[in-house]
Structures are given as C-alpha cells and as structure tokens.
Structure 1
C-alpha cells in the first residue's frame, strides 16, 4: 500500500480512491483536465502585485505586506508551500515589524488556482494566526472552493513526487 504523505489527514476511503487513480495512471490526466492553464505570475515583482491586489480586495484593514517573493529553498528546507513571517527590527527608538510572504518556487509553473490558494492561505494568516474555523472561513471567502483546491493541490504534489521518483 502506497503512503500518501500529503493526504495522510484525509479518510482512508478517499486515500484508496487516490491510490486507484495512481494505479490506473489517471492522476496526471485528472489534474491536467481539471487545471489545464498555467499562470503568468513569474517574477517576484508580479507576485508582490498579485498578492497586494488580493489583500486590497479582501483585507483592506490588515497590515501592509513589505515583501512577497518566490523562494527556491522553501519546500526543501521547511517542508512548506508558503510562509508568512513578521520580522521585528529596531529602527531608531521604535520596534518595526515587517510582514513577508514567501511562496515555494515550484508554484511558478502551476495552475492559477494553486497559486491563488497559497497566497490566500498566507494572507489569511494576517488576520487569523491559527488554522481554526475563522481562518478557513476567511480562506473560503477569498477563494470559493478553497478546500477542493487545497485537496487538488495535495494531489498535484503527490503526482509531482511520483514523477520525480520514476525519474530517479
């Protein structure tokens, strides 16, 4: 039985369905049919603008974001897809907190829905620090169908790992 590390929190019945898709070599075609397009947000500057536009649309009163960038080390070192940080620095006699969002570089070549889901998730942390009901309600508000896209993103990561292990 194949271990599905990205889907381990899901029910066994759902994991079994995914295993069948993998055995029938249908996981890739399923994802390609469901998410045929790739986004055009390729630079850090474009990612910052994309993130700022979403923040301004849904979280106008949240603190400003100082930096948004793709991070090639993120998925390898921290086992994360996106990361939000508040870095506190002393400037003069005051303490200033800078908000940063980093997105794993592997999302440069994915469906626009996946990039949006990662950004929405990190933006929601500006208002809700914990993964609680309020957090997921906010995610769903900013991206309807958030939970399905998150699940499909986990399928994508599973498929990506399968392809990488076949090549190695």
Structure 2
C-alpha cells in the first residue's frame, strides 16, 4: 500500500479510491482526461502578470505585490506549495513594506487549474492570514471549484512522486 502523503486528512473511502487508481495505473489517465494540457505561464514576468490580473479582478483592496517567483526550494524547504511573505525594511526615516508570492516550481509545468488554485490560495493570504472559515470562503469566492481543484492538485502531486509527469 502506497503512503499518500498529500492526502492525509481525507476520508478512508477517498483514500481507498485513490489507492485503487494507483494500483490499476489509472491515476495519470484520470488527471490527463480532466486536465488535458499544461499552461504556458513559464516565466516570472508572465506569472507576475497572471497573479496581478487575478488580484485586480477579485481582491482589489489588498497591498501591491512587489515580487512573484517560481521557487525551486519551496517544496522541500518549507513543506509548502506556495508562500506569501510580508517584508518590512527601514530605509532612512521610512518603513518600506513589500509583499512577495513564491510558487513551487512544480507548478511551472502543471495544468493551469492547479496554478490558479495555488495562486488564489496565496492571494487570499493577503486578506486573511490564517486558514480559517473566512480564508476558505474567499478562496471559494475567487474559484468556486477551489476544494475540488485542491484535491486534484494533491492527486497530481501524488502521481508526480510515484510515476513522474503525466505530460510528456
């Protein structure tokens, strides 16, 4: 039986279904049928524009994002898939604040839906710092299918760990 690291906390029935997909080698097929293509947002400039467009559309009254990056270390170092940071620095008599969003590099070649889900998650942290009810309501406001995308993204990461990319 495979250890399903990304799916801890889900129901035993769901874990059993996932285990069956893995054993019958159909998890990749499920993912490619549901998400047939990866996106083309591969540079940090296009990622920045993508994130700022989502921010303008859904949460206008949030701080400006000063930096966006695909981070190769984020997954292994922080055990996370995205990070939002708020950095304050004193410059002369002024206090400068910067908001940064870093997305795990694994999303550079993932389906757009998964990049959107992780981006929305990090954008929601600009308004709600904790993973509370208001946070998830905001995520669902920006992406009504948020919870299904989160599950499918976890299935995608499981497949990556077990087999490798579903997109060659």
Question: Gaps (5+ residues) in structure 2?
Answer: none
CA distance in 2, matches of 1:38, 1:163: 17
**Quick check: 1:158 aligned with 2:155?**
no
Query: 1:94: Cα distance to partner?
Result: 2.1
| TM-score between the two structures when normalised by the length of structure 1 | 0.95
**Quick check: 1:111 aligned with 2:111?**
yes
**Quick check: 1:50 aligned with 2:50?**
yes
Alignment of 1:11-160 (within 5 A): 11-160=11-160
Q: Secondary structure at the match of 1:66?
A: strand
Query: 1:2: Cα distance to partner?
Result: 2.1
CA RMSD of aligned residues (A): 0.8
Higher-RCO chain (CA-CA 8 Å, sequence separation at least 6): 2
| TM-score between the two structures when normalised by the length of structure 2 | 0.95
1:123-163 Cα offsets, whole Å, 9 max, x none, are 00000001011101111111120000000000000000001
Question: Gaps (5+ residues) in structure 1?
Answer: none
